[in-house]
Structure 1
């Protein structure tokens, strides 16, 4: 049983834990899991379903309801096999996990954001605006709901 005091982990430790946890989660659902040798394209690992379909997984983790983003040059919303795996951590409980297909950002809304930051230092990004108000929009992507779509 994990210790589940997530607030004591650094940002990097929490991210690495989320990545390994998600690999084990997909294995438990019967997917094959493949590591990527280099993470320069925003893909943390690849899964293969029982029907032979491959999905590229980008894992993000956070402890609070805030803003999570992926740079547009690393997260291609036209890639139908690219999935964002979002793990929300709260002390003393296992994380809530959400699977959001990249193509969902083609229709930005209060939850899924498209930010270009013209004339600013920040690079263009796709984001997730996590808030109590937006949890209803996020719930449709819960791992329990989405897992059936990937088998």
Structure 2
């Protein structure tokens, strides 16, 4: 059993935010935490030359489903979702930095259900199945790697 299997969801989410912030910081970017939750971003990253990236951070243990409400995640060029996967079969978490605009195209494992006529609100999601590492490889960020070309 990996050490993160013992912590609760809030602690796992907090650890994920720190992992993402640290990765941006050691890559030479300035990272800020918003003072309020109005914009629904956990981190604001200064990319330089007047460019910024608003980052939603999600964490998950192994294959599962993560999502953000469509109402709080516009698909524009200055937003991204940082997904930190704490897999059961590895001793280190894995980080993926995904541009919001990926949900325009919906390659697997990305989904965008609207739930018409149901109680659930429309959302952008990622279905992590047995092929998740292969499907998310384009957006994988390893320590010391530059950010994906999309940024």
The aligned runs of 1:52-63 (5 Å cut-off) are 52-63=50-61
Give the alignment of 1:20-99 within 5 angstroms: 20-77=18-75, 79-90=76-87, 93-99=91-97
Stretches of 4+ moved more than 3 A in 1?
Answer: none
**TM-score normalised over the length of structure 1:** 0.88
Q: Which ranges in structure 2 are unaligned for 5 or more consecutive residues?
A: none
How far, CA to CA, are the matches of 1:45 and 1:73 in structure 2?
18
The worse-fitting range, judged by mean Cα deviation, of 127-136 and 67-76 is 127-136
CA offsets 1:96-150 (integer angstroms, 9 cap, x no match): 1001000010011321101000111110000001112343221111014661537
Number of matched residues?
A: 147
Structure 2 counterpart SS, 1:39? coil
In structure 1, runs of 5+ residues without a counterpart are none
Alignment match of 1:124 (pick from 114, 122, 125): 122
| Aligned counterpart, 2:16 | 18
Relative distance call for 1:102 and 1:146 in structure 2 (3 A) is farther
Q: Secondary structure in 2 aligned to 1:73? A: helix
Q: Give the TM-score of the pair, scaled to structure 2.
A: 0.88
**In 2, Cα distance between equivalents of 1:29 and 1:116:** 36
